[in-house]
Amino acid sequence: MTKLYGGAISSDLPEVAVDVSDFREVPDTQEVFILERPDGLDRSVIIDLLEMVKANSLPEIIAIHLEDIIDGPPIFLAPLESSRTAEDFDAHFFLVKPSPSKQETDETKLFVLIALLRLEKAESDCVFTFNIPLKCGDVTAEQLHAQLLEVTSGDGELGRCFQQLKHWVSTFKVQDWNLFS
């Protein structure tokens, strides 16, 4: 289990995840890890502890959090599933295609898987942001639909990443609630 926030929270991140705080400053409300890949398309996982958004609907809640996470409005946002974790948190998963950014090239596009955990007891939201660059050329509506099917079926690169994100969320545990006081 990976200790987060000084051990107050834990989650089963991969042992090979590189803790970014070992070589640069990271805000106290955030944990950042790099998953290095031989193809150079490194992935990152950002875990944010945020003030709970009190809105009337899940789309409103995620839209407010996305304003802090990505630059500009996404070109694609799809809810994937919602569940309750073993620790009794509501977890909601989304696939996001952010607006084109400087991180993208003609061949490589960025996709983002997001998990929103509602920590009611602490009046906080925990947002996992899994940044996944993929070699895929231009992103069309048909390609976005195909990527969505890949994610929900668990197939392909994004599907495997989604399974990984669900595992991290399923093993998320608050060890010390005093973190939120």
Structure confidence by residue, pLDDT tens digits, 26-67: 999 999 999 988 777 899 999 999 999 998 888 899 999 998
Percent of the chain with pLDDT over 70: 98
pLDDT at 43: 93
Residue 97 has pLDDT above 90, yes or no: no
Structure confidence by residue, pLDDT tens digits, 115-169: 999 999 999 999 999 999 988 766 767 777 777 777 777 778 889 999 999 999 9
Tell me which CATH code domain 2-175 carries.
3.40.1000.10
pLDDT at 137: 67
pLDDT at 32: 97
Residue 54 neighbours by CB under 8 Å, 6+ apart: none
pLDDT at 104: 75
Q: What is the mean pLDDT of the chain?
A: 89
**Residue 134 burial (CB count, 10 A):** 17
Give the global pTM: 0.92
Q: How confident is the model at residue 17 (pLDDT cuts 50, 70, 90)?
A: very high
| Domain definitions of the chain by residue range | 2-175
Residue 175 has pLDDT above 90, yes or no: yes
